[in-house]
């Protein structure tokens, strides 16, 4: 057994399956670049057949990434695999990940297939995928609730057909760590050709066990863990990459393996994913939460001052907590700006877009002097938003204690300016009401949140607005040194995203979302 633990990140695929977390192609490329910088081994870039937009995103990631293997998900059918292979064509290293459900309930109720047909489809899919690449992964979906004898049978068959990675998903987050570890050990012992494949795990967090189950599997010999930044993912999410990575690195005495991640990039990736998806990180979240390294209680502070290791088991710097470098300032020129953007995976499709972004950068640098990478990501999202169908043109809010605030705003819709004014219970409420007076979207507001992007009172406020309409959910983001302006931008962004949401296949339920 090797001592290398392969880190497979599925933020761009399973992470994106969280309601409202959908990402644009450019956002996916930026996240993929952050993952590559962190030295993630495999990046699952999406489900290529889901829609033309998903196909384009997988392709764009395949073009942008050199150091990590790029992977696309495909159901066990030839059309999905062909789409995955075409989208992955530009990749330096490509993997096709094909799957089919194997639990009695999924085979009978979802697939309506006999177990023999499931084995046949899985073998055919793996053989077909092998015509495109030597790197093929197979997952028996809902393995956590599948019959072990049937799992052994299908796994032996797909390994014979050429699958080099066998991924065991706990799709519904049902198993307990000791059981899941035992399942991995049993499969490795009982499948006759198990030594020809790397065993991988993919755990969901419905009972809060995703990381514990993944680590139990590593102890039982799994050598790939599938995970996401901040634990993003379907329902309660997937195993959090940062927790798995730091547990293995911190407790090398327990796990007889290590990964190749440069963990100093964890914080930056966490902030980027949270900013792009609008899913804030809870303060007490392990590793990346604001309190993860804050020793608040007096006793702890005293202990830490006397001797750091009394209460700290990891260095904050090792996961990038002190890495919030000032990267640019008001004297930085266009070249320095473009170079840093390129390093962050940000590219401008035309000289006009670069000019627009640089002009906004100068305005921001005048307002807040020190510009961090997080500010650049927010600024680029701002430029992209300015080219959407609806955008915020002007906003004025009058608010005083004891009076109801009033917002006067104008939106640019298809290049035409439309204005409205509205009163509200607060400044943000007044803005949202004024926007709705113009748009009358019929959408329901599910969430509004504000975070500071960087430190200091001149930090930009980053707001998220989640809207729902006709079963679709979209998150919008806005950033500005004025949080009310940021809120209005986020509302408009969520409206644009709702309008753009087209028909898209969901890999596991086979429905459009
Ligand atoms: O949770 C799951 O089973 C999946 C598979 C598609 C691997 O995401
Ligand atoms: Zn999953």
Indicate whether 322 pLDDT > 70: no
Task: Judge if the beta carbon of residue 47 lies within 6 A of ligand 1.
Answer: no
**Whole-angstrom distance, CA of residue 195 vs CA of residue 124:** 21
Question: Alpha carbon 264 to chain centroid distance?
Answer: 18
Mean pLDDT of 343-355: 83
Q: How confident is the model at residue 198 (pLDDT cuts 50, 70, 90)?
A: very high
Q: What is the number of the ligand 1 atom nearest to the C-alpha of 172?
A: 1
pLDDT attached to residue 98: 98
**Nearest atom within ligand 1 for CA of residue 204:** 1
The CATH code for residues 3-277 is 3.20.20.70
User: In degrees rounded to 5, what are phi and psi of residue 370?
Assistant: -105, 125
Q: Is 98 in the pocket of ligand 1 (CB under 6 A)?
A: no
Full DSSP string of 132-169: T-S-EEEEEETGGGS-HHHHHHHHHHHHHHT-SEEEEE
- Measured from the alpha carbon of residue 507, the closest ligand is 1
- Report d(CA 292, CA 91) in Å as an integer: 36
- pLDDT (0 to 100) of residue 44: 98
19 CA distance to ligand 2 middle (Å): 14
Q: What is the pLDDT of residue 342?
A: 83
Closest ligand 1 atom, residue 13 Cα: 8
Atom of ligand 1 nearest to the CA of 17: 8
Which of 502 and 137 is assigned the larger pLDDT?
137
Which of these, 150, 151, 182, lies nearest to 166 by C-alpha position? 151
**Residue 99 Cβ < 6 Å to ligand 1:** yes
State yes or no: pLDDT of 89 exceeds 90.
yes
How many whole angstroms from its chain centre is CA 82?
25
Contact residues for 448 (Cβ-Cβ < 8 A; gap 6+): 428, 463, 464, 465, 466, 487, 490
- Residue 66 class from Cβ within 10 Å (0-12 exposed, 13-18 middle, 19+ buried)? exposed
In this model, does residue 325 exceed pLDDT 70?
Answer: no
**What residue ranges do the domains of the chain occupy?**
3-277, 292-322, 334-381, 388-512
The mean pLDDT of 7-15, rounded to a whole number, is: 98
> From ligand 1's centre to the CA of 202, what distance in Å?
7
Architecture, CATH, for domain 388-512: 2-Layer Sandwich (3.30)
Q: Report residue 370's pLDDT band, with 50, 70 and 90 as the boundaries.
A: confident
Please, what is the average pLDDT of the chain?
92
Please report which residue ranges of 278-395 form alpha helices under DSSP H: 298-306, 334-343, 351-368, 373-386
pLDDT of residue 79: 97
Whether 46 lines ligand 1, by a CB cut-off of 6 Å, is no
Helices (H) and strands (E) in the chain, counts: 16, 16
Q: How would residue 82 be classed by pLDDT, with cut points 50, 70 and 90?
A: very high
CA distances from residue 282 to 271, 299, 314, 391, 449 in whole angstroms, order as listed: 12, 24, 19, 30, 12
Q: Which of 177, 273, 199 is nearest to 6 (CA)?
A: 199
Q: How far apart are CA 498 and CA 479, in angstroms?
A: 19
- pLDDT reading at 116 higher than 90: yes
Contact 243, 231 (CB under 8 A): yes
pLDDT for 513 equals 38
Residues contacting 315, CB < 8 A, separation 6+:
none
Summarised one tens digit per residue, pLDDT across range 359-369 is 999 998 988 77
Predicted pLDDT of residue 392: 95
Which residue CA neighbors atom 1 of ligand 1 most closely? 171
**pLDDT score at 307:** 73
Q: Is 321 in the pocket of ligand 1 (CB under 6 A)?
A: no
| Phi, psi of 179, rounded to the nearest 5 degrees | -70, -40
Detail the DSSP E strand segments found in 90-135.
Answer: 94-101
What is the CB-side half-sphere exposure of residue 170 using CA atoms within 13 A? 31
CA distance 346 to 79: 32
Identify the pLDDT of residue 262: 97
The tokens for 118 are: 């499931």
CB 319 within 8 A of CB 263: yes
Say yes or no: CB of residue 14 within 6 Å of ligand 1. yes
The helix or strand, by DSSP H or E, that contains position 33, with its residue range, turns out to be helix 25-37
Residues in Cβ contact with 338 at an 8 Å cutoff, skipping those fewer than 6 apart = 348, 354, 358
The winner for highest mean pLDDT among 13-17, 378-382, 384-388 is 13-17
Q: Which two tokens stand for residue 289?
A: 């939460």
Residues 6+ apart with CB under 8 A from 478: 385, 462, 463, 465, 485, 486, 487, 488, 489, 490, 491, 492, 493
pLDDT tens-digit readout, 165-176: 999 999 999 999
Nearest ligand to the CA atom of 47 = 1
**What angle do helix axes 210-219 and 241-250 make, rounded to 10 degrees?**
40
13 lines ligand 1 (CB under 6 A): no
Write the pLDDT tens digit of every residue in 258-288: 999 999 999 989 999 998 998 989 889 999 9
Task: Give the C-alpha separation, 426 to 411, whole Å.
Answer: 20
Nearest to 138 by CA among 89, 187, 180: 187
Tell whether the torsion through CA atoms of 153, 158, 161 and 167 is positive or negative.
Answer: negative
pLDDT at 323 over 60: no
For 409-453, the pLDDT digits (tens) are: 999 999 899 999 999 999 999 999 999 999 999 999 999 988 877
What is the C-alpha to C-alpha distance for residues 246 and 225, in angstroms, rounded to an integer? 13
Rounded-to-10 torsion of CA 309, 313, 316, 320:
150
> Which atom of ligand 1 is nearest to 238's Cα?
1
pLDDT band at 311 (very low <50, low <70, confident <90, very high): confident
When pLDDT is cut at 50, 70 and 90, the band that residue 321 belongs to is confident
Please tell me which residue, 189 or 19, carries the higher pLDDT value.
Answer: 189
CA 511 – ligand 2 centroid, Å: 16
Q: The sheet that has 416-423: what strands, in order across it? A: 390-398, 406-413, 416-423
Q: How many CB atoms lie within 10 A of CB 350?
A: 8
**Which residue would you say has higher pLDDT here, 394 or 336?**
394
Contact yes or no for 138/96 (Cβ under 8 A)? no
pLDDT tens digits for range 228-264: 999 999 999 999 999 999 999 999 999 999 999 999 9
Statement: residue 148 has pLDDT above 90: yes
Q: What angle do CA 361, 365, 366 make, to 5 degrees?
A: 120
Question: Could you tell me where the DSSP H helices lie in 238-284?
Answer: 241-250, 266-277
Q: What is the pLDDT of residue 25?
A: 94
pLDDT at 371: 87
Angle in degrees, CA 94, 22, 54, rounded to 5: 40
């Amino acid at each position: 057994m090797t001592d290398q633990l392969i880190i497979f990140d599925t933020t761009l695929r399973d992470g994106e399956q969280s309601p409202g977390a959908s990402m644009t192609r450019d956002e996916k490329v930026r996240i993929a670049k952050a993952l590559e910088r962190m030295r993630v081994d495999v990046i699952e870039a999406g489900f290529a057949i889901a829609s033309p937009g998903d196909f384009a995103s997988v392709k764009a990631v395949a073009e942008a990434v050199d150091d990590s293997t790029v992977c696309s998900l495909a159901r066990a059918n030839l059309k999905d695999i062909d789409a995955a292979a075409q989208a992955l064509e530009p990749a330096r290293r490509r993997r096709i990940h094909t799957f089919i459900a194997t639990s009695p309930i999924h085979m009978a109720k979802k697939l309506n297939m006999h177990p023999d047909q499931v084995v046949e489809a899985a073998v055919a899919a793996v053989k077909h995928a092998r015509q495109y690449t030597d790197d093929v992964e197979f997952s028996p979906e809902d393995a956590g609730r599948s019959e072990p004898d049937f799992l052994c049978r299908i796994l032996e068959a797909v390994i014979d057909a050429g699958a080099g990675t066998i991924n065991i998903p706990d799709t519904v987050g049902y198993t307990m760590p000791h059981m899941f570890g035992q399942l991995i050990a049993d499969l490795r012992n009982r499948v006759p050709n198990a030594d020809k494949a790397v065993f991988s795990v993919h755990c969901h967090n419905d009972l809060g066990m995703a990381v514990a189950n993944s680590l139990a599997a590593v102890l039982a010999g799994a050598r790939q863990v599938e995970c996401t930044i901040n634990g993003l993912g379907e329902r309660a999410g997937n195993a959090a990459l940062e927790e798995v990575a730091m547990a293995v690195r911190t407790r090398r005495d327990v796990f007889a393996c290590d990964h190749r991640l440069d963990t100093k990039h964890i914080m930056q990736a966490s902030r980027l994913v949270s900013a792009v998806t609008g899913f804030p990180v809870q303060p007490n979240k392990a590793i990346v939460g604001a309190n993860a390294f804050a020793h608040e209680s007096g006793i702890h502070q005293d202990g830490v001052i006397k001797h750091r290791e009394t209460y700290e088991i990891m260095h904050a710097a090792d996961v990038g907590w002190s890495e919030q470098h000032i990267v640019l300032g008001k004297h930085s020129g266009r070249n320095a700006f473009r170079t840093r953007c390129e390093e962050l995976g940000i590219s401008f499709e035309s000289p006009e877009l670069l000019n627009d972004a640089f002009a906004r950068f100068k305005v921001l640098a005048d307002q807040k002097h020190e510009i961090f990478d997080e500010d650049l990501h927010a600024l680029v999202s701002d430029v992209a938003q300015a080219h959407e169908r609806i955008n915020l043109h002007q906003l004025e809010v009058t608010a005083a204690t004891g009076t109801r605030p009033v917002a006067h705003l104008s939106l640019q819709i298809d290049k035409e300016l439309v204005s409205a004014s509205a009163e509200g219970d607060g400044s943000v409420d007044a803005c949202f009401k004024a926007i709705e007076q113009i748009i009358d979207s019929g959408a329901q507001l599910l969430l509004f949140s504000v975070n500071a992007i960087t430190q200091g009172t001149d930090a930009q406020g980053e707001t998220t607005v989640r809207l729902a309409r006709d079963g679709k959910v979209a998150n919008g983001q806005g950033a500005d040194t004025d949080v009310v302006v940021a809120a209005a931008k986020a509302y408009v962004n969520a409206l644009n995203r709702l309008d753009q949401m087209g028909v898209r296949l969901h890999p596991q339920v086979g429905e459009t979302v």
